[in-house]
Amino acid sequence: MPEPPRQFDRVRNLREVLSATGAGIYLATHQAGPLPAETQAAVHESDEMELRVGRVGPDRLEDLAQREREARAVVAAVLQASPERLVLTHGAAEAARMAALEVLESGADARVLLLRGLDRAVAAAVRDVADVAGATVEVIDELPRIIPADVALVVTAQVDADGCLADVVEAAETARAAGARLAVDAGRSVGAMPTDVAAMGADFVFADTHRWLLGPDAVAVLWITPRLDAETPEWLRQAMAPFGRGQLLALARSIGWLLMYVELPWALDRTSSLAEQLYEDLAAIAGVEIVADPAAHGAVAAFRISEWDAVSAADELGRSVFAILEADPDADLIRASVGAWNRENELRRFTERVAELAAHTPETLPRRPSLTLISRPVDEENG
């Protein structure tokens, strides 16, 4: 169905600020979201200022501290949390490392449970801390109903790399009953679905900010439950190396833009609606296997196409309909994700081409002629 006129205008205005959405069918927000033009402009202005006057001065440290507080404040609004319980970190792996350091005591005979589907860097960071502390690490497919008493830490993703949605509230209750701490990677859910970190019941929630929050690379946020020492967030903030002024500005500007210009509730509703459309359309195609449960998933879909390997299929989708997505040759999966900036007709063109691939083999597929783009594709309502 075509989009209602007012909805179309709203999405068009959104896409004008997110220039990367004109480069193709942007289905890779699970890797990195498009950068708002005004965020880039703010960072450029900051860089120009530092070029002219330098990066020193009597007010430099206070300026950086203020920018850091502003960044935490806008993230707190998205997470429905107190800014005082938030710590900015250099990526999700560092956030996971900080959480593990808080829980695991050196020399303690403890176990760590990692739920399968975590980012490799996150899992590796937790393993590093466990090795130093002498803890045992076990990777499991699902959390048991009763956790053994020697488990000190459980780490899971709210939405994993394949779009599978975990029940983090139930996981938190199970962990708490065993006296274990729960850390949740929400990098593929924050900004794509409503988030209330306190309601999760977890002890730590962390998320990269470069996906649906449209923030800079290599910046993440770590929320720490009030059940832990009130001083913990402050000393962790002090332990983090200073962030660049441009990074802090980019984070605050991107999320502030989402909150005020885009209106986050609208963006969340639209993202959810588009994700449902993507899952429904893929599930209806014979020869397509979706990894996540169509009834419980995030905004990313991982799937296979019969008779096609992931790399060849992704290459064909990129060439024929300009789909920007991920091919995972190790798992033989194609991953596609949606954001509020996607159009319904884009998803329709994408899934129609997936259906064409599923109806053929690489040898029998009718090839579409390649086009050379000298400007971004025309973004028409019925295109």
- pLDDT, tens digit (0-9, with 9 covering 90-100), for 266-309: 999 999 999 999 999 999 999 999 999 999 999 999 999 999 99
**Residue 290 domain-assigned (yes or no):** yes
Domain C-terminal end among 229, 259, 289: 259
pLDDT digits (tens, 9 = 90+) for 91-104: 999 999 999 999 99
Instruction: Tell me the one-letter amino acid at 56.
Output: V
Residues 283 and 164 in one domain: no
Q: Helix (H, G, I), strand (E, B), or coil: what is residue 181?
A: strand
Domain C-terminal end among 241, 259, 277: 259
**Residue 69 domain-assigned (yes or no):** yes
Query: Cα–Cα distance between 40 and 63 in angstroms, integer?
Result: 19
pLDDT digits (tens, 9 = 90+) for 102-143: 999 866 789 999 999 999 999 999 999 999 999 999 999 999
Smallest CA-to-CA distance from 291 within 164, 192, 166 is with 164
Residues 231 and 247 in one domain: yes
Ranking 186-200, 218-232, 268-282 by mean pLDDT, the lowest is 218-232
Smallest CA-to-CA distance from 112 within 171, 183, 23 is with 183
Domain containing residue 252: 39-259
Residues 16 and 46 in one domain: no
Angle between the N-to-C axes of helices 264-283 and 344-358, in degrees from 0 to 180, rounded to the nearest 10: 20
**Residue 55 domain-assigned (yes or no):** yes
Residues 217 and 312 in one domain: no
Contact at 8 Å (CB) between 64 and 245? yes
Buried b (16+ CB within 10 A) or exposed e, 274-313: bbebbbebbeebeebebbbeeeebbbbbbbbbebbebebb
Taking only Cα atoms into account, the Rg of the chain, rounded to an integer number of angstroms, comes to 22
pLDDT given for residue 382 in this prediction: 42
Tokens of 118: 């975590």
Confidence of residue 178 (pLDDT cuts 50, 70, 90): very high
Angle between the N-to-C axes of helices 92-103 and 120-133, in degrees from 0 to 180, rounded to the nearest 10: 30
Full-model pTM: 0.91
pLDDT digits (tens, 9 = 90+) for 314-324: 999 999 999 99
